[in-house]
Structure formats: structure tokens, C-alpha cells
Structure 1
Amino acid sequence: MKSLLCLFLLSTSIMAQTPFIQGHRGCRGLYPENSLPAFEHALELGVRVLEMDVVLSADGQVVVSHEPYMNARYASHPAGEAVVRSEESSLNLYQMSYAEIKRFDVGKRGNSLFLEQKAVPTYKPLLAEVLALGEAFRKRTGEAVYYNIEIKSEPAEYGKSQPADVAEFSKAVYAVIDKQVEWPFVILQSFDFAVLKYWHQVWGCVILSALVEKESPVYVLETLGFTPAIFSSSYQYLTAEMVQFCHSNGMRVIPWTINTTAQMKQFIALGVDGIITDYPNRAPKIH
């Protein structure tokens, strides 16, 4: 009975998720990635699905960051000097308190990969801060806000830049979300299938998205042992046949990361259910 109820809740909540465009790391092409300014600007543009990544600090705080370290491409030390590549491994967020992490700037230098990105001083926020921003927007405007949250996890990093046990990582993330947001508005995604298996086993009614690069949906189903709500692959490897297969097997398809209007139109024509983009302002239509 419980499994049937979960299937019903998952199908109805995903059906209710009408927003099509997801702002990748907020809107990485326009503002510093995974920052409060990026998420705020994405909402102002009309984005209603905020995509982000989370890691853990030494003191167990859930931090919004793509890497579990300070990235030399855009991070600056508290005193102002740029982080250099050779010191990235020593700036392991899992070995730093959140108070230490917050002192680093991750926006004022801009990002050479994204020439349209506005350089603004900012820091790596807590997941709780991002959810609070989105929920404040929802209460102020009456418009639903959804959150696509990636647990950044890989087996090679167990016990190094993340907990040795995916359960510890997952419980920390779950606790933050559960306090602030209703679960039908949350997608939990990961490349680490051990994470997805744990969430499916423990919190079966959470909407799960299987992140892959070029792996097929058949591989995902066989490896996971269950059907995730969403198949999310790199757009470069996604075919019309894969989209059709997913739909016939009860999975929605949300490719990443599509950054030109022409490519967005191409994949909309293939029938995808959403698009993750660094440039939501380039979307043919945000709805």
C-alpha cells in the first residue's frame, strides 16, 4: 500500500511541476554560480526551478557548492588574493568550518568561462539560505518555486571530501530540506547511484533524478534497480529514441546543460520535459 501511495504522490507532484526551464547553479552564465545573487536573478527572470549542488562542511553544514573545494577559477582568499590551482586540494570544504568557508569570496573575480557573468562579491551560501530565499519569493509573489538539489558525491571521495557513508550525507541534506520546503517541490539528483538507492529505500516518496553523462536509460534502470522519476543526461548524448524509451517507461527527461536558444528549440522538439541552462534569459519561452 505504501509503495502504491508513493507512486501516486510522485506522479501527481511531477505532473504538477509545470516550470520547464531550470536555472543551472542559479544562472551561472549571468551571475556567480551557486550564489544568492544568481538564484535571486534567476527568479527575477522567471525561472521557477532552481538547480544547485550541495556539499558538507567540517561542522556538518550543508553548503551550496559544485566542488568540495575552493575553485581557483573564481575563488579568492579572505585577504583578497586569488586561490591558485595548486592549493585547491588543501582548501577541502569538508575539512573547513562553515565560518571559514564563508570568508572566501567566489564572485568578485568573475569567471573567464562565462564572459556575460556579472562580477559581484559573494560567498558560498548554506542550503538553508537558498531555500529561505526561494520560499520568501513564493510567499511574496504567490508563485511556486521548485528546487533541483544535487548531492555532489562520488565513491573515490568517500571519507575525503565527504562523509564515508552516503547515509550521513543524505540525512544532513534531508533534514535541511524537510524543515523548509514541502517535498513535492523538491527534486533530489545525483551522479552517485548509491545516493539515489539510499534515498529510494529510506524516503521513497522523494522525486529522484538520475544524473548521467552518456549512459543510457537502460543502464540506469538496470543499475539502480528501480525507476527514477527523471532521467537527466548530458544533452550531447541524448537521442530521440532515448526520450521515447524514457517516456514509455515512466521517466521524465531533463537534459543538461543547454545554453543556446537554437539547441533549446531542438530538444523541445524532441519532447524533453525540461531544460537545465546557464542562460535562462536565452530560453525561447519560460513557463
Structure 2
Amino acid sequence: MKKIVYIFAAVALVLAAGCASQKKTNVHLPVFDAEGHRGCRGIMPENTIPAMLHALDLNITTLEMDAVITSDSQVILSHEPFFNHAITTKPDGNAVSEEEEKDLNIFKMTYAETQRFDVGLKPNRSFPKQQKLAATKPLLSDVIAQVEAAVKQKGRKAVFYNIETKCQPASDNIYHPAPEAFVDLLMAVINKAGIADRVIIQSFDFRTLKVMHARYPKVMTAALVEGESERSMQQQLDELGFTPTIYSPHFRSVNKAMVNEAHQRNMKIVPWTVNDKEGIEKLKALGVDGIISDYPDLF
């Protein structure tokens, strides 16, 4: 009798664990996904903790950001795998020049070395309304920790994270690790933080998405597509080899036919990067499932 009770108890535990696992992976994106590009680049320094925290006070559902890897295998936020001259001040207080920026290779620096460069004080000509403040490129783990704490403190709904891998075949092991290593380092941070069910991994480099699909199939993916691509959606998906959660084209290439085709293929469509109210409303009228914007206050 005791053996039967133990068996039933064991089965109950297995079923409970299965239900919990299913529940964790059954998180759905918002009906309309309002994404803050690099946090809120039009308002605060891009890909910084202040940008992410400020975006929480705006009407966003997802924080969009970019990830690169340091020489000591740390995942940090940065749009380029080097220090962009448009936003960077060197440790000596001088601005980084366009000629030297690519020599400031983050993949060749330790995380500690990257913290000597400021990316928030230099005025960004493209975003004159951007608030200037001292800031460095943060660890992804610190971003997640501070965002999750702020969400809890504010009593607001949990947010999603749309993280782009900044890599391409030509610069493997020069500016970043190969896709397999890149993805594993990224997912180690995400899994440790316990947010895998609220993460989207996006990339123009389809190799990253293929690795994600093979190794972490429950994590959402987004196929980033350049403006006027010469390839059809079918050709792009043929190259990818599976259907991603999201199809993410440049906003100028979006039309009703594209929206319909994405939906017919069971993909959400989330264009980038829309920075005016008229453009946002026009795309909403076409039926897109979300929008990425530098000015999430427009949502």
C-alpha cells in the first residue's frame, strides 16, 4: 500500500512540474507590443540603465537592446562591438574620433576596461532632445536586475526583453565570438535571471537564430530584415529554416500585403524604427503587432 502511495505521489510531482514548466513557457506577447528602442534613445543615452529605467515610466511593453561580448566573456549592452565616436568620451576626457572607434574593440577589452569609457555625456546630434548624463555600457545581468526591481517597486506589469545579437560572419572571433558561443553566453545570463519566457532574441545574422532554435527552442526569436530586401519573405524563411515568432522589417518596407503574409505564416510583425506619431498610427492601421521606437513616449 505504501509503495502505491509513493508511486501516486511521484506521479503527482512529475505532473505538477510539467504543468509549471508549461505555464512558464506559455507567456504571450502583448496584443500590441510597444518597444523602446535601445531603451528610449531619443530621450536618454542609448543602451544604458537610465534609458531602460526611464522607459518603464513610458507606455512600453518591451525593452529593446543590443548585446556584445567582452574579452572576459561578459555580456554587455552596446549597439556596436566597439566604442562609437558619436556617443563616446575616452578616459582622458577627449571624444573618440571616427578614425579610431573600430580600434576600441570591446571583444578585446575586459568588462572593467569598458567601464572607463563614458557613453552618456557627449551630445548626440541625431537626438537633440536626449538628456546628457554620465553613463557606461552596463552588464546585461545588471540591466535585468535593476529593471525587474523597478517593475516590482512601481507595481507595473512585467516587461519583455528584445535582445539583438551584434554579430556577422565576417567578424567572427574578431569583434565577437562565433554564434554558438555568443548564444550560450547570452542565454546563461537570461536563464540565471529567470526571464527566458519574456525574452526575444533578434538578429540580422540568421546564424544566431538557427542556433537559438536548435538549442533553446522555447525562447522567442525575431528575424530582423533590412529595408528594401531583394529576397522575398519565403526566401528569407527558407534561409532561416524555421518560422520565427516575429518578422521585424524596416518600417518603410511595410505594406498591407506584408502584414497579411506574416500573419498567414503565423508570425507577428514588428517594424523598426518609427519615430513620429503619424508613422506609428499609419502602421497600426495596417495591422502590425508592435512597433520599435526611439521615442516610446509617443505610444
Fold match (TM-score > 0.5): yes
Counterpart position of 1:279: 295
Report how far residue 18 of structure 1 moved. Answer: 4.0
Aligned-residue identity in percent: 42
Q: Say whether 1:253 aligns with 2:269.
A: yes
Q: 1:232 aligns with which of 210, 227, 248?
A: 248
Counterpart position of 2:211: 198
8 Å CA contact 2:38–2:63 kept in 1: the answer is yes
8 Å CA contact 1:9–1:205 kept in 2: the answer is no
Q: Say whether 1:266 aligns with 2:279.
A: no
8 Å CA contact 1:147–1:187 kept in 2: the answer is yes
- Partners of 2:278 and 2:83 lie apart in 1 by 34
SS of equivalent residue, structure 1 residue 85: coil
- Partners of 1:34 and 1:79 lie apart in 2 by 22
Report how far residue 44 of structure 1 moved. Answer: 1.3
Counterpart position of 2:167: 153
8 Å CA contact 1:10–1:206 kept in 2: the answer is no
8 Å CA contact 1:110–1:120 kept in 2: the answer is no
Moved more, 216-225 or 24-33: 216-225
Length, aligned pairs only: 275
Q: TM-score, normalised by structure 2?
A: 0.88
- Partners of 1:181 and 1:30 lie apart in 2 by 29
- Partners of 1:124 and 1:200 lie apart in 2 by 28
Counterpart position of 2:40: 27
State the superposition RMSD in angstroms.
1.7
- Partners of 1:155 and 1:146 lie apart in 2 by 28
8 Å CA contact 1:127–1:176 kept in 2: the answer is yes
Q: 2:198 aligns with which of 179, 185, 190?
A: 185
Query: What runs of 5+ residues in structure 2 fail to find an aligned partner?
Result: 1-18
Structure having the higher Rg: 2
Q: TM-score, normalised by structure 1?
A: 0.92
SS of equivalent residue, structure 1 residue 241: helix
Report how far residue 156 of structure 1 moved. Answer: 1.0
CA displacement 1:208-253 (0-9 Å, x = unmatched): 1001113342222111111001000100111110110010110000
Query: What runs of 5+ residues in structure 1 fail to find an aligned partner?
Result: none
Amino acid at match of 1:33: E
CA displacement 1:177-214 (0-9 Å, x = unmatched): 00113322111111110110011011111101001113
Q: Say whether 1:106 aligns with 2:119.
A: yes
Report how far residue 12 of structure 1 moved. Answer: 4.4
Amino acid at match of 1:239: N
